[in-house]
Structure 1
Amino acid sequence: MLAVATLASRVAGFVRILVLAAALGLGTRLLDTYNIANTLPNAVYELVVGGTMASIVIPLLTRAALNESDGGVLYAQKLLSLIVYVLSLVTIVAIVAAPLLIDLYAPAFTPEQRHLAIVFSRYFLPQILFYGVAATASAILNSRGHFGAQAWAPLCNSVIVIAVGLTYAAVGGSTTTTLGTGHLLLLSLGTTAGVLAQMSLVVVSLRRNGFPVRLRLDPRGIAIRRIGKLGLWVLLSVVTTQILVAAATRAASWSGQGGITAFQYANAIYHVPFAVIAISVMTAMLPRLSQYAARGEHQRVVTGLSRAVRTALVVMAPIAAAFVLLGPQIATVLFSHGNSSAETVRVLGLVLAAYGLTLVPFTSYSILQRGLYALQDTRAAALVSAAVAGVGVAGCALAGWLLAPGDIVIGIPLAYAAAYTVGLNLTVLVLRRRLRYIDGKRLARTHVRVAAATLTAAVFAGLAVGGLGPAMDTSPWVEALVTGAVAVLAGAAGYLVAGRILRLAELRHLLNMALPRVRTW
């Protein structure tokens, strides 16, 4: 059910991207400017509390719910209060520092772009507080075994922004960086209203589930020092991650007009399967892993991590192959319309193809990092993240040095792939040292079988597309649509056939869950 909710939210988020691309113009300076400004609230939020929320807060809430007489209610209220007070101050500081943030992420902006980005960002930065409240309320719900509202909440956000984009196009909004006051307010206030609605939905759900939402004037008594001690390492992890994001964004800005949008939109597409599968798995998994770790049941921690990695792998591997083989076709089908630049669409497709090499290592790395967080080994997680960021930043710098300006953005996902492969291997070594056993034989066996099944799927897809031949003498958009559809259907058939022959148990379990009334194996 988490995957269904996440899929619906991600589909809506993707429709939002398409609407904004059509309304503001894919490859225009306006869309680059809007995207950079709208990135800042997420970046600042992640830097301040986002990493802590994912890695520390849920385990602490879970332990409080288990150990305190009131089920951890007072602890959760004080934690929510602390988040509100800290993020309110951070939001004010970020609004004042908006020019510095824009210069950090987009040094190649023209003066006109820079000015508009600063104006946009000052409307967008209050989202920091809204994201923080929503995330804390979601963490409280998760620690109590409720996962639905927070999975559906982004859908509400996307619907509002879609309406904003359609309205902007309907009233004849400009695709240049010279905006009238009405158009500026529509884009800026409408975008922030989406995040406010997302927060409101989660808070209302928290109240309906019986939690008394109340701010405490004195948030002390929740082991702030302990949170701070654990959080220092998480802060290092988040800082290094944000350094990598900033380096990648800066590199994309040097790719010229449309470079930032190509990078961010390809990144958004690549994150859809990760969010639907991996984040759904991790969201449901972390509270349980935290309980196992708190009880010292390390064997159950290992079992949970192994199952999560193998489950995600059987879905992610064929999707990664589809990105590699069909990246240009996917970009053409999705973005080759409206005010889109043909060159930006082409580059976006190549970036998406390169991202296919990143999907599997990034997914496995992210899941195994949750094991370190459940064990509250934030120090090891931070050091591994620092190594990932180091490799990624070096890769982005190398792309900027070796590649032509227009191709720099294509090198960014390759740098990411190298970075997360290093991070995955380092995390495996750390977990093996902590747990003494990581189910290595089963993991290796599943990886080999999935690789063979994926290769078979690629062969099926290639043969099917090759059989189309001259029948594809039509428009580029129709050709891309038909080619992609045929390749996906043939590849899926090949993957299922190979999975059955290879007795891929994880695939069988997924199919039996998805189709419980059909004999799938």
Structure 2
Amino acid sequence: MTSIRQAGQRMAVATLASRVAGFLRILVLAAALGLGTRLLDTYNVANTLPNAVYELVVGGTMASIVVPLLTRAALSEPDNGIVYAQRLLSLIVYILGIVTVLAIVAAPLLIDLYAPGFTAGQRDLAIVFSRYFFPQILFYGISATAGAILNIRGVFGTPAWAPLVNSVIVIAVGLTYLIVGGSTGTSLTTGDLLLLAVGTSAGVFAQMTLVVWALRRSGFPIRLHLDPRGIAIRRIGRLGIWVLLSVITAQILTAAATRAASWGGPGGITAYQNASAIYLVPFAVIAVSVMTAMLPRLSQYAARGEHQRVTVGLSRAVRTALVVMAPIAAAFILLGPDIAIVLFDHGNSDAGTVRVLGRVLSAYGLALVPFTSYMIMQRGLYALQDTRTSALITALVAAVGVAGCAAAGWLLPARDIVVGIPVAYAVAYFTGLNVTALVLRKRLGYIDGKRLVRTHARVFVATATGAASAAVAVWVVGASSWTESLVTLVVAGLAGGLGYLVAGRLVRIIELKHLLATALPRVRTW
């Protein structure tokens, strides 16, 4: 079986490529539709809804229920769980097909829920967009289920590469829209509307097609069963009740944040969502790659009652992610405005929205480390199939986050509301991380606390040193234009990275040493 490290490395490369393409997608759409325009806000909200509905119905069960059940079936069934996987795929196709139709009908209600600050023109266009986008719910479900089956069979690369295809198609759509001179207002011609709507969903369809092709190529016989029973649907339902609570509360938090951002005026939603997309890149490249490769192994350990090995795996994942995420979080806090200028201050972008986006990205730096550690620790509960506790903790996180978003909406000026959203997220995820750690300590006996505390302290010292070095570079270079911001990013990045590495060596961060040895096997890095 492919080792977690090897699988994680391969997935990190694929995810990095996909995320780079995702960045280009964001930049192209911002240039084509106009960062800060009502059109881009409308498009982004409508394109968010299929993901939200999918997560509500199925997405949350992938890591918490589907992967552990597929793993157990592969270990216990005489056919290595093939029929079980076929029936599970059939069930998901039937459920999501029905949900897609219902979502299309309920589009006006969903738009009103997520964006009450929209004008009448925005609302009408968002409803039309969303009805073209909702078939993505089914596409995402098939892609995710096929990807989970591939992961169980030891194939991690294709599911990680598939989003690249999606982004490439949408980039082509955005460039075409820009070349033909598409409108940046909310009154679109039929041709402009179809180009954006059909082209965007075509990207998700292509992503699904690639994963399904890879599944068939792996030797798995793809077959839909008219009667999907025989997969312990009642057991899935019992586990799924708590997962549903978890996903509902998470989506309530997302809806609360989007609603708050919609009151920030034109560009508020786009600033929040684009800053969020940038902030999630390091998490997706590092943490998601590690977690996806780690969960099947943790599920096997938990199924065998090997709780000590579960603890060791979780501790290693948290510490490995920390040494990468901490300096990136510091970079966001210090260089957020410059990152926003370099990425978005061009084309049809509004300069004021670019500045707000930079401030939001700086605030997101506060959330990156607690969010990453919280998500990794949650995988421990998933491996133990303790969906009830996971759901209750997620509900707590959502409650704290919703309260923070509400406070931002009530207390802050309109243009500052979106800056308060990531601060609320940081407090919420820090709360969830500590509660999850306490629960796992009780369930597993210990969570390697001394080593975790020691590593966090050393990483903090190294990160502070790197941040100080970068701050000096920012002060020396200064920035008032796009070119100066680019120079600032390069100089500050080099100075901060060097300061972090030197300090990391002096305080003996072993995890950083191992990462460097893996990345540069022929170079003496310590």
Per the shorter chain, which TM-score range? over 0.9
Per the alignment, residue 369 of structure 1 pairs with: 378
Matches within 5 A, 1:253-402: 253-402=262-411
1:21-72 Cα distance to aligned partner (Å, 9 max, x none) = 0000000000000000000000000000000112110000000000000000
Per the alignment, residue 487 of structure 1 pairs with: 492
Instruction: Measure, in 1, the Cα distance between the counterparts of 2:158 and 2:233.
Output: 28
Per the alignment, residue 523 of structure 2 pairs with: 518
Aligned residues: 517
Instruction: Answer yes or no: is the 8 Å Cα contact 2:477–2:484 preserved in 1.
Output: no
The letter for the 1-side match of 2:318 is V
Per the alignment, residue 133 of structure 2 pairs with: 124
Per the alignment, residue 248 of structure 2 pairs with: 239
Post-superposition shift, 1:316?
A: 0.2
Post-superposition shift, 1:221?
A: 0.2
1:447 aligns to 2:417 (yes or no): no
Name the TM-score, length of structure 1 as normaliser. Answer: 0.99
1:171 aligns to 2:176 (yes or no): no
Post-superposition shift, 1:465?
A: 2.7
Secondary structure in 2 aligned to 1:416? Answer: helix
Q: 2:510 aligns with which of 505, 509, 515?
A: 505
1:404-447 Cα distance to aligned partner (Å, 9 max, x none) = 11111110000000000000000001101100100000000000
1:139 aligns to 2:148 (yes or no): yes
1:223 aligns to 2:232 (yes or no): yes
Q: 2:158 aligns with which of 122, 128, 149?
A: 149
The letter for the 2-side match of 1:295 is R
Instruction: Answer yes or no: is the 8 Å Cα contact 2:163–2:207 preserved in 1.
Output: yes
Per the alignment, residue 22 of structure 1 pairs with: 31
Secondary structure in 1 aligned to 2:472? Answer: helix
Q: Which stretch of structure 1 is more off in the superposition, 231-240 or 459-468?
A: 459-468
1:236-255 Cα distance to aligned partner (Å, 9 max, x none) = 00000000000000000000
The letter for the 1-side match of 2:226 is L
Secondary structure in 2 aligned to 1:343? Answer: helix
Post-superposition shift, 1:145?
A: 1.2
Per the alignment, residue 4 of structure 2 pairs with: none
Per the alignment, residue 99 of structure 1 pairs with: 108
Q: Which runs of 5+ in 2 are unaligned?
A: 1-9
1:149-195 Cα distance to aligned partner (Å, 9 max, x none) = 00000000000000000000000100000100001000000000000
Q: Which stretch of structure 1 is more off in the superposition, 505-514 or 26-35?
A: 505-514
1:68 aligns to 2:77 (yes or no): yes
Per the alignment, residue 7 of structure 2 pairs with: none
Per the alignment, residue 33 of structure 1 pairs with: 42
The letter for the 1-side match of 2:210 is L
Post-superposition shift, 1:466?
A: 2.8
Instruction: Measure, in 2, the Cα distance between the counterparts of 1:79 and 1:93.
Output: 21
Post-superposition shift, 1:479?
A: 1.2
Q: Which stretch of structure 1 is more off in the superposition, 481-490 or 301-310?
A: 481-490
Per the alignment, residue 50 of structure 1 pairs with: 59
Instruction: Measure, in 2, the Cα distance between the counterparts of 1:518 and 1:249.
Output: 46
Post-superposition shift, 1:467?
A: 3.0
1:113 aligns to 2:138 (yes or no): no
Instruction: Measure, in 1, the Cα distance between the counterparts of 2:516 and 2:74.
Output: 35
Instruction: Answer yes or no: is the 8 Å Cα contact 2:441–2:447 preserved in 1.
Output: yes
The letter for the 1-side match of 2:137 is I
Instruction: Measure, in 1, the Cα distance between the counterparts of 2:276 and 2:33.
Output: 19
Post-superposition shift, 1:485?
A: 1.0
Secondary structure in 2 aligned to 1:291? Answer: helix
Secondary structure in 2 aligned to 1:107? Answer: coil
Cα RMSD (Å): 0.7
Instruction: Measure, in 2, the Cα distance between the counterparts of 1:223 and 1:82.
Output: 12
Instruction: Measure, in 2, the Cα distance between the counterparts of 1:175 and 1:189.
Output: 18
Instruction: Measure, in 2, the Cα distance between the counterparts of 1:289 and 1:35.
Output: 36
Per the alignment, residue 441 of structure 2 pairs with: 432
The letter for the 1-side match of 2:511 is E
Name the TM-score, length of structure 2 as normaliser. Answer: 0.98
The letter for the 2-side match of 1:67 is S
Instruction: Measure, in 1, the Cα distance between the counterparts of 2:476 and 2:138.
Output: 54
